Amino acid sequence: MSDSMQTELWLASTSPYRQQLLQRTGLPFQVAAPDIDETPIAGEAPAELVQRLALAKASKVASTLKHGLVIGSDQVAVYHGDILGKPHTPERAMAQLQAFSGNVVTFLTGLALVDAATGKSQLCCEPFHVHFRPLSHAEIANYVAIEQPLDCAGSFKSEGLGISLFDKLEGNDPNSLVGLPLIRLLAMLRQHGINPLA
């Protein structure tokens, strides 16, 4: 095995969605809970928020290590300038989807890669735009009942039946919609000599 493949890779997230995405690369990695305060700062723009939190997550885990690369990611959904939270209840999920009907929601995903040995980091924000088709009340109710997207910002799972809600998806990397922009991440990792195709 090459030295590049021996570099320890950590995912600073307990999200099963992010873990599943990172598994697609075939790169071995370990998972650690970052345990940080995710409260927005007053006046903080959504893009600044996700980058700050992604870096904070990766840095928190990196501070416990002597070496290795730590991936941090954070995502918000933005609609009419407002940050959307997870709905947590079927009623809130339905209300969110009713508001989105015929409109566009932007997902911003912050991505950070921190070298635990040096403290150096790479950081970006990946936008992705979801164009919702006009939805009937029955379609929304049926979708929420079937897929129960209560722990997802935006009240849908694009990797599941949520795809039936859209007219168009617009962005550089469909993985960023699920919470981890793999195209940008792999580019960052190649700068450290890590390439799943090498």
Task: List the catalytic residues.
Answer: 74
Under 8 Å between Cβ of 182 and 21:
yes
Q: Quick check: 110 and 123 in contact, CB under 8 A?
A: yes
Choose among 158, 107, 103, 89: nearest CA to 131.
103
Q: DSSP secondary-structure letter at 134?
A: P
Q: Between the CA of residue 192 and those of 27, 168, 187, what are the distances in Å? A: 14, 35, 9
Q: Could you identify the residue written with the tokens 């290795």?
A: 68
d(CA 74, CA 78): 13
